[in-house]
């Protein structure tokens, strides 16, 4: 019989497992050598917010946490 194990990424502040996606929108302005005009890049940052304590995590932090969970279950 095959066993299923489900493990969650948990908030390291409150152990909550529910998160909501929050977006930040910004423009980054910078100069270039060939013009006096500023050019800009549009940036959209995705962050995940714990629904219990409001702590935020980047996508990279979530992926690192999931990798640790995966690694821990390899040694079981």
**pLDDT value for 27:** 94
**CA–CA distance, 34 with 23 (Å, rounded to integer):** 33
Tokens representing 37?
A: 């005009």
Close Cβ partners of 15 (under 8 Å, ≥ 6 residues apart): none
Tokens representing 70?
A: 């995966």
Tokens representing 49?
A: 């917010």
**pLDDT value for 65:** 96
Q: What angle do CA 49, 52, 55 make, to 5 degrees?
A: 40
Residue 49 pairs with which residues in a beta bridge? 20, 56
**pLDDT value for 75:** 65
In tens digits, what is the pLDDT along the chain, a chain of 76 residues?
Answer: 578 889 999 999 999 999 999 999 999 998 888 777 888 899 999 999 999 999 999 999 999 999 999 998 886 5
């Amino acid at each position: 019989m095959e066993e299923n194990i489900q493990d969650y990424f948990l908030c390291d502040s409150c152990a909550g497992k529910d998160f909501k996606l929050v977006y930040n929108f910004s423009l980054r302005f910078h100069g270039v050598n060939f013009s006096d005009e500023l050019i800009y890049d549009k940036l959209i940052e995705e962050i995940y917010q714990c629904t219990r304590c409001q702590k935020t995590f980047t996508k990279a932090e979530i992926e690192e946490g999931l990798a640790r969970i995966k690694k821990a279950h390899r040694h079981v």
